[in-house]
């Protein structure tokens, strides 16, 4: 059964409830305060974000509107110039 999103008339916030597609009510009871909650129209959750590809897409979309603040260069993963290459022939090259 698909999940449907409802919003409580009070300030309980949105919640999701599962109903058969043929019997979806327009309103239901809030599980917290037992008041009426109206069904909201929301986009379907295709893919549901558990894969790394979905996480990458979400992060890319979010960074377009909320870019991370960078205060400096990323930490260096190589230790000095010797880690640039491991080819022994490069040791013969002139050094600056």
List contacts with Zn ion (CB under 5 A). Answer: 8, 10, 12, 30, 32-33
Residue closer to Zn ion (CB basis): 14 or 49: 14
DSSP sequence for 3-70: EEEEEESSSS-EEEEE--GGG--SEEE-TTT--EEEEE-----SSTT-SHHHHHHHHHHHHHHSPPP-
Q: Residue 9 or 53: which CB sits closer to Zn ion?
A: 9
Beta carbon nearer to Zn ion, 15 or 19: 15
Please, what is the minimum distance in Å from the beta carbon of residue 26 to Zn ion?
16
CB of 5 to Zn ion, least distance (A): 14
Query: In the complex, what is the shortest distance from the CB of residue 13 to Zn ion, in angstroms, rounded to a whole number?
Result: 8
What span, in angstroms and rounded, lies between the C-alpha atoms of 95 and 13? 65
């Amino acid at each position: 059964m698909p999940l449907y999103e409802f919003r409580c008339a009070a300030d309980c916030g949105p919640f999701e409830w599962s109903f058969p597609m043929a019997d979806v009510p327009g309103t239901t009871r809030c599980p917290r305060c037992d008041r009426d909650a109206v069904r909201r129209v929301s986009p379907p959750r295709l893919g549901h974000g558990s894969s790394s590809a979905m996480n990458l897409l979400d992060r890319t979309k979010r960074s377009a509107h909320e870019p991370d603040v960078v205060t400096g260069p990323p930490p260096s993963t190589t230790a000095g110039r010797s880690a640039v290459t491991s080819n022994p022939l490069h040791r013969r090259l002139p050094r600056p």
